[in-house]
Amino acid sequence: MIKVQHTPLDGCLILEPKVFRDHRGYFFESFNQADFQKTTDLDIRFIQDNQSFSNYGTVRGLHYQTGDWAQSKLIRVISGEILDVALDIRTDSKTFGKHFSLVLSAENFLQLYIPKGFAHGFSVLSTSAIIAYKCDRFYNQASETGIRYNDKTLGIDWKIPTKKMIVSDKDLSLPGFENVLK
């Protein structure tokens, strides 16, 4: 059974699985569809699993897909530690333009559920990290977009010194937050 905590952003949830530990190590269910539905009261069917590896200082995001391709995601860390960031871009939401961040790690087993209508990003706080996430829609390049990670109006603290950040050219060229309103 998983424990669910609500974040300040409506619909964005922290999930904590039950971890069984003994002298050999640990065991836990990283995902159980029936348990997820019962505990969250969400009828979400995840259809794609993604995994990424990144080194310390990497900042990825803020990414999202538009229209019918908008994705809900369930993020967890297999190895290392990240700062995971969800940004509410639902223009009709009372928390529009607000973000929530949470440290996810292989040690804390926490997962972050991010519903459709959010942009997502993360920074790697450990030497390296392996991140796994489930999506309820397939990736569609034509609907992919994002918001520049360092947009001043958002004020996101990625917990990485600016000089140590590793950001892709693609993410550096993303538009600012004001683009969401267009």
What is the spatial distance between Cα 85 and Cα 37, in angstroms, rounded to a whole number?
Answer: 23
Residue of 63, 99, 113, 149 with catalytic role:
63
Q: Is the separation of the CB atoms in 19 and 26 below 8 Å?
A: yes
Residue of 64, 113, 133, 149 with catalytic role:
133
C-alpha closest to that of 42 among 138, 133, 136: 136
6 an active-site residue? no
Q: Is the separation of the CB atoms in 59 and 160 below 8 Å?
A: yes
Amino acid at 85: V
139 an active-site residue? no
Q: Using alpha carbons only, what angle is made at residue 141 by residues 76 and 115, rounded to the nearest 5 degrees?
A: 40
DSSP state of 171: H
What is the spatial distance between Cα 155 and Cα 132, in angstroms, rounded to a whole number?
Answer: 26
Question: 3-state DSSP call for residue 34?
Answer: helix
Please identify every residue annotated as catalytic.
63, 133
